[in-house]
Structure 1
Amino acid sequence: MKKSIKRRLLTNFVLIIISMVVILELLFINTVKGNYYKNLEQNMLNQIKISSDLYLKYFSDSSLYENVLNNVDTYWKQTTAQVQIIDLNGRVIMDSIGSSPKNIRDYSDVALALKGETGTLIGKSDNYSEEVMSVSYPLNSSHEQVGVIRFVTSLKEINNDIRNITFIFISIGGLAILLGIAVIFILTKTITGPLNEVTKVAAIMASGNFKVKSKKFYEDEIGKLSDTLNYLSEEILTKEELKNDFISSVSHELRTPLTSIKGWAITLKEFNNDKDMLIDGLDIIEKESDRLTGMVEELLDFSKFVSGKITLHNRKVNIENLIEHIKKQYIPRANRENIKFTVEYNDIPNIVCDDNRLKQVFINLLDNAFKFTPNGGEVKFLANIENNNIIFKVLDTGCGISPEDLPKVKEKFFKGKNSNSKNGIGLSICDEIISMMNGSFIIESKLSEGTTVIVSIPITEER
């Protein structure tokens, strides 16, 4: 499906905006989440250090088990979190909510605290339906560690706050995306609008109306294109005027001697007895005829200069090698366009011809065959000998040529009704080249069925 520039620009810019907004949203949300968790961890760490210092200062003269039995309330008065006291074997000897595994030494935060370090863990807990954060800290008596104190708190409220902030960020991001799309739509319109104007004017010019002007919107590349298009139309109009002036001038110049010749012919016919007048009249007719001949020669020279003259450089050519070269040239295109391309030949002799011009003919014919054959179609290039002639055939299963267009396809600048048809002289040049090789050029076609082009080149040692 063909996409317009406006659609492509909108799609690409919207994808860029959405990607940027999503990346920024993720960055902001993760930053907020990290800050919330970091603050909670710091608060819990401050509280747990107070409890640890309290134990060291007031209860270190008794064993851990005695302190838990006699001063159990002291540890959770400092915090609203769940409090656990753990011995050096990782067993829980006191829990403020009374429901914990007996041994939790495998928890990463507890394992660090048993080594004398501070440990933090975020994850699921058997006592909570949501995520929790736990902080473990060593309990010391005198100069040795006697256990671990652990605070565990739910992240439910913090996660709710983070979700609310996330919703706000997403809402802001959505509004930013909508605003960005609106701005991009306006900016895209400022690009595609002038482009559509230029395209419209170009289409009008293509129909032959070169008096139309392209409106210039901005001083940018499209504005420059508009200026170029207007300059082109002016140049074409100028050249058209020059051509018309040239034709008018030539017609006038041709009419002048013709009028003079005709006038003197009538005069001499009526007054043929006046010898002096007869001599003068014939003299004028001769001079005017010479002048007319000179002008015609100039026109012929001008025509040759404009159209060019095709010449052949003949030599002995290996036709099979030429066919193989063309085959290798078109196989990639056939594969690319999903067209079955078949080349068949058998014992083709060498002939004297211009191999470059002959290759030009085949390339032009095959190019047309591929151009008008849809994907999944077939193109054949065949060569065989018939009656001392090499018969080349290019067959395709394309759209074909309508009966009214078929007789005209060899004419210069003829454009068919098919959308792929182009003004050109390709087939007319092929016809001229084949004629110079004393060959024949036949085109057979049926609409919606395909086309067959037959080129016949006589086998000869000289040309």
Structure 2
Amino acid sequence: MERVKKQKSISKIFAMYIVAFCIAAILLVLFYSASFIIGIQTGYILPANYYEQKIEKQRKTIEQTEDVKDLIPQECKYAVYDLNGNMLQGNVSEAKALDMWNIVQSDSRSSGKYFYKVIQRDNGICVVEYILNASFANPILHRYVENFEIVFYVFLFSSIAIEIIIFSKAFKRRVVKEMKILKDTTENIQMENLDFKIEYSNIVEINDVLSALDKMKLELKEALAKQWNMEETRREQIAALTHDIKTPLTIIKGNSELLGELDLKPDETEFNNNILNEIKNMESYIKSLIEIMKSEKECILEKRQINLMKFIDEIVEQGTLISINKQLKFKSEVKDIPECILVDEELLKRSIINVISNAVDYCPIDGEILFSVNCKDGNIEFIIEDSGRGFTKEELNCATEEFFQGDKSRASKNHYGMGLYITKKLIEKNNGNIYLDNSEKLGGAKVILKILV
């Protein structure tokens, strides 16, 4: 039995990360606090009132000793004054000594971060300036880091900042991991790969979306199956229809040809010729239907590297032969093309020749067809232009649709509105696209076949 994943809402997961972050932050504070206490107990760190206590211990000695230099901690400033405020000895400048005298005379015992001890002496006083903050016991460290508390808070808040980064990245990885399931699902549906089982995540909100996608996948699969069945049925019906039409058509054609061998009256001969012409049109129609079935039939692409210039020469040769009957000028232009391309050569050739055949049919006698090839924006462009009437606005939008026939002056009885539709189907099998326009050079139609290099 498949194990059911335990689901949580995104808000609950976020709350869990917040709680975990708070616990980790508290542990960090406790760790640094414990380290601070241990440092004080082992003597590596001096407590904030260390110098204050040391001065108090030396108070009586300072009161009675003439020279107090060795009794004052080196880290403290001091000055000994007479009753008139004149400095007798000390380790400060006269200006600093005057400031210290004025501070204590105003009955103040602090100024900014500094604190002052006043020790009464015979015929004078001793004023000691010190700072109330923890510091390193090591003289070298104390010289560079006077206030240990700054280091303590820098390390503490830096650690918390690192913790924030770690937890935010962990939360991001968790969400991205769960979102990947959603991304993979949408990509499969986009590619119409619908025979997969949706894998659900651990997040409720994502699972809600996945459930909706699963329903959509099943409905899409059913719709595509129906569409495929309809297309298959249509193809079978067309194939059956063409087969059924060919038999009576062959009989009619045979009988009509036999009638043509008899001695008929002029009007009877004309009627018989009309019958034969329409039979030819019907045969062309059936041939077009067969071509459409071939173009829609699933086939395995046989892509291979071909020499592009050699391929173009073959197209030009075949296009020239097709154009001879209508005395058309078939020209070609080639520029900036790669030596080789990877394509299904047969499908590509059928696509191009089909467009050239259409151009020949729609071009007036003594007209012109231009076949050009170039490479632009990573695509090979095969462009066929003619000097005919060109496309109408409606034809530009609909000419590649099945059975579309626009203006009859543009339509050909040999194609029944399927020439460009077949070309579109063939070029799409080669991962290409067809674009319609009107030619500025020749004034007629312009068809562009693009294939990604």
TM more than 0.5: no
Please, what TM-score do these two structures have when normalized by structure 1? 0.36
* TM value normalised by structure 2: 0.36
